[in-house]
Amino acid sequence: GAVVSQHPSWVICKSGTSVKIECRSLDFQATTMFWYRQFPKQSLMLMATSNEGSKATYEQGVEKDKFLINHASLTLSTLTVTSAHPEDSSFYICSARVMATSSTDTQYFGPGTRLTVL
């Protein structure tokens, strides 16, 4: 399947700092990327949908000023957690939509980034 990478795979930061997470589609172009958050032993919660060249669409309850998303190219989307606090500690997962044809329309997920805010 298609390959999606995330960097870093884990990060520890101090409260009040900002953290940037990168999501790259390695062998395909992704017009749409998604950012999810997953708490321990819970399902994935969609945070926002990111379309290349346009503003991200945030899900209800997700602070857009807190979680800045940039989708500057067809292979890269970034999530910046601004002024991180311990409650932002979580597993963040990105995915990229492959839509070569309608029959191959699928999302492939990155390996996730574990953020710990001290």
Partner 1 sequence: AQKVTQAQTEISVVEKEDVTLDCVYETRDTTYYLFWYKQPPSGELVFLIRRNSFDEQNEISGRYSWNFQKSTSSFNFTITASQVVDSAVYFCALRVYNFNKFYFGSGTKLNVKP
User: Quick one: which segment of 63-71, 72-80, 81-89, 109-117 binds partner 1 (CB under 8 A)?
Assistant: 109-117
40 neighbors 116 (Cβ within 8 angstroms) = no
Tell which positions 42-61 bind partner 1, by CB under 8 A. Answer: 42-44, 46, 49
107 touches partner 1 by CB under 8 A: yes
94 touches partner 1 by CB under 8 A: no
- 32 vs 24: CA distance, rounded Å: 12
75 touches partner 1 by CB under 8 A: no
- 45 vs 103: CA distance, rounded Å: 25
Please, what is the minimum distance in Å from the beta carbon of residue 106 to partner 1? Answer: 5
Contacts of 103 (CB under 8 A, 6+ apart): none
89 touches partner 1 by CB under 8 A: no
